[in-house]
Amino acid sequence: MDIHEYQAKELLARHGVNLPRGGLAYSPEQAAYRASEIGGERWAVKAQIHSGARGKAGGVKLCDSDKAVKQAAEEMLGKRLVTHQTGPEGKLVNRLYIEETVDIAQELYLGFVLDRKAERIMIIASSSGGMEVEEIADKEPESLIKTVVDPGHGLQEFQAREIAYNLGLEYKVVNRMVDTILGCYRAFRDYDGSMLEINPLVITGGGSVMALDAKMSFDENALFRRQEISELRDKSQEDPRETFASDRGLSYVGLNGEIGCIINGAGLAMATLDMIKIAGGEPANFLDIGGGASPDRVAKSFRAVLQDENVKVIFVNIFAGINRCDWVAEGVIKAKKEVGVSLPIIVRLAGTNVEKGKQILADSGEDIIVADTLKEGAEKAVKAWKDAGGTKAAA
């Protein structure tokens, strides 16, 4: 789960991270008031969306007067901001963060991420702030400083100090940088973060260390114990298809094709997407119904897939172990009747109670296409998709 910049900064402030003064605005008038409330002579007006690279897309504007702040807010609010991370559809801007500008002497990069290979928290720092980390790794790989945190001991002060020294900071700034790194680590750890990025982290002309930007993501599997964090969720920034599915406990990722997929198991799901592509089609989604798929859960999966108006065919591919093929078959019939699925449905069942499941489908009287293998199912799904007028062919 992602949160907005201003929300991430509020969490970091609780752990002692130094920030410029700022305030939230939902209207041009409120934006101008925030600027006068903050004081000073120059402000940054920042669109609050779940995406990086906002500045390059016109989502961050520097203003020298209340009038300019109001004008910038007029231009941003209610518009869709398109960055290289949002895709062509962009993200709707419905709130702004107004922040004082600071005297920047040096820009740095600081990030925290879960390294799944090492099964540790990885800290990445660079003296080349303001650039995307991928760009830094490509153009200045020698500037990247990587530190692994032992989960048994947590981040130690000597490790934070080593990062500060490796960044080439002046001695008088080192202690402030150490406090900032430790504060960021505590926020990342205490809220079950999966990613924290401060870019840029700046040294001001007066020697202060400040986070000018902040992006933070959290482990959704831990939100049950982080009610305060789960309440920061902004569904307007999410794919509505994925929101619908996640609210119903389904693992769903929206794609750009027209063949809807309902599958159990992430590995089988990935193999199914590949097989659809090989057969010449384009999958519309990744959806893993998980174990213990009751008829009701299968019906919910159909509803989730049908949230995508582009879907022309639904391919159900189940290899039952914990699941049972007869449950899945009952769910398909339930969805066909109760959800009102009028699209072609291709079902491939294998594993526990497979014969019983196939018999249920055969006795239902419903127009359902049955396949015995993954390859056959994918080919039948692609054929049904083409017969339905499919246009988004695989590259």
Q: What is the pLDDT of residue 392?
A: 61
- Range(s) of the domain holding residue 75: 21-101
Q: What is the pLDDT of residue 69?
A: 96
Q: Are residues 75 and 166 in the same domain?
A: no
What is the C-alpha separation between 153 and 163, in angstroms, rounded?
17
46 in a labelled binding site: yes
pLDDT at 395 over 50: no
Q: CATH number of the domain that 68 lies in?
A: 3.30.1490.20
Do 117 and 226 belong together in one domain?
yes
Does the annotation flag 213 for ligand binding? yes
Same domain assignment for residues 266 and 346: yes
Given 185, 220, 238, which residue is the final one in a domain? 238
Q: Select from 211, 238, 265 the last residue of a domain.
A: 238
Last-in-domain residue among 216, 238, 260: 238
Q: Would you please indicate which residues are annotated as catalytic (active-site) residues?
A: 109, 197
User: Is residue 65 domain-shared with residue 161, that is, in the same domain?
Assistant: no
pLDDT tens-digit readout, 5-16: 999 999 999 999
Confidence of residue 198 (pLDDT cuts 50, 70, 90): very high
pLDDT at 393 over 60: no
Select the more confidently predicted residue: 390 or 344.
Answer: 344
Q: Are residues 90 and 113 in the same domain?
A: no
Q: Residue 395 falls within a domain, yes or no?
A: no
Please state the rounded mean pLDDT for residues 341-363: 92
DSSP reduced 3-state for 228? helix
CA dihedral 383→386→388→393, nearest 10 degrees, is 130
User: Which of the two residues, 187 and 142, has the higher pLDDT score?
Assistant: 187
Which tokens is 355 given? 């014969």
Segment 297-324 shows an average pLDDT of 89
Helix (H) or strand (E) holding 30: helix 28-38
Residue 294 has pLDDT above 80, yes or no: no
**% the chain with pLDDT above 70:** 98
Concatenated DSSP letters of 196-207: EEEEEEEEETTS
274 annotated to bind ligand: no
Please check whether residues 80 and 145 belong to one and the same domain.
no
Residue 19 has pLDDT above 90, yes or no: yes
Task: Report pLDDT for 173.
Answer: 95
In this structure, are 204 and 281 located in the same domain?
no
Q: Is 132 a member of any domain? A: yes
Residue 269 lies in a domain: yes
Q: State residue 394's pLDDT score.
A: 45
β-pair partners for 9: none
pLDDT at 159 over 80: yes
CATH number, residue 299: 3.40.50.261
Whole-angstrom distance, CA of residue 31 vs CA of residue 99: 10
214 and 345 within one domain: no
Residue range 68-96, pLDDT digits in tens: 999 999 999 999 999 888 878 889 999 99
The mean pLDDT value of the chain amounts to 91
| Residue 209 · residue 173 · CB < 8 Å | yes
Any idea what the CATH number is for the domain that residue 10 is in? 3.30.470.20
In a domain, 394, yes or no: no
Residues 46 and 154 in one domain: no
Q: What is the mean pLDDT of residues 322-337?
A: 87
Q: Are residues 315 and 207 in the same domain?
A: no
Residue 171 falls inside a structural domain? yes
Q: What percent of the chain has pLDDT over 90?
A: 66
Q: Are residues 141 and 248 in the same domain?
A: no
φ and ψ of 358, to 5 deg: -65, -35
Q: Give the integer Cα–Cα distance in Å for 125 and 57.
A: 25
Contacts of 204 by beta carbon, 8 Å cutoff, 6+ apart: 102, 103, 104, 105, 210
Q: Is 199 annotated as a binding residue?
A: yes
391 in any annotated domain: no
pLDDT at 217: 95
238-253 pLDDT, tens digit each: 878 888 888 788 888 9
Query: Is 366 assigned to a binding site?
Result: no
Across the range 106-128, mean pLDDT stands at: 93
Q: Higher model confidence: residue 338 or residue 315? A: 315
Considering the domain architecture, whether residues 11 and 49 belong to the same structural domain is answered as no
Is residue 392 in a domain? no
- Average pLDDT over every residue of 165-194: 95
Counting Cα atoms < 13 Å in the Cβ hemisphere of 365 gives: 1
**For residue 393, is it within any domain?**
no
Q: Is the peptide bond before 200 cis (omega within 30 degrees of 0)?
A: yes
pLDDT for res 340:
81
282 annotated to a ligand binding site: no
Domain count along the chain? 3
